[in-house]
Amino acid sequence: MAGIYGIALSNNRSRWYIVVCVCNKLGLWREYTDHTVKDLLALPVSRITIVLSKFIILVVWCLLLSALIIISGLITGFAISLPNFSLNLLYSGLGKIMVSAVLAIILITPVAFLASVGKGYLLPLGFTASVFIVIQVTNMLGWAAFFPWAIPVLYITPSEHLGAVSYIILLLTGIAGTILTLAWWQYADQSGS
């Protein structure tokens, strides 16, 4: 992406990540905070089905929020008449933003695990705040390409080029978060809320 319009399109990435994390913590893993975990577990469906349903809803929700943020960025760009707009820039920028959104969605699973283990939203909220600090530190040290939560941001940054190792780290983090969340819901004692 070139010019100031590309910067305006890609600047939405931080807002998007914050919105996704807040939705994850406050919207889909509230059973312990609202004291409804017993009701949820009384349903005639497996715990794995419950968690997979939550993940599906979260992915759809995140994609819709991503689209909303992209639209708001475009409206803002048109409203203040940013220069250098072209359809090629728009298509290129939208592609990069959507790939970055998918990369960020993959990283929600470890946060879901923390929300489950912490039986609420304080642990994942603290984790998310820490992630923003660690992203800055790893970026200053030149190691951001090896920190999973920095990778979606680096992907969308025009001057950064990520290697296969970065994507492997991101995917392994997402898979580990999924396995840990599913295992925790399957085997952990859910009675103590």
- Let me know: does 15 contact 57? Beta carbons within 8 Å: no
Segment 147-154 long-range contacts (CB within 8 Å, at least 24 positions apart): 148/107, 148/173, 148/174, 149/107, 151/103, 152/13, 152/17, 152/100, 152/101, 152/103, 152/104, 152/107, 153/13, 153/14, 153/17, 153/100
Residue 188, φ and ψ in degrees, nearest 5: -75, 150
List, for residues 37-64, the tens digit of each pLDDT value. 766 676 787 888 888 888 888 888 888 8
Res. 165 pLDDT band, cuts 50 70 90: very high
Task: Identify which has the larger pLDDT, 176 or 154.
Answer: 176
Predicted structure pTM score: 0.75
pLDDT at 8 (0 to 100): 42
Q: Which two tokens stand for residue 151?
A: 């990778």
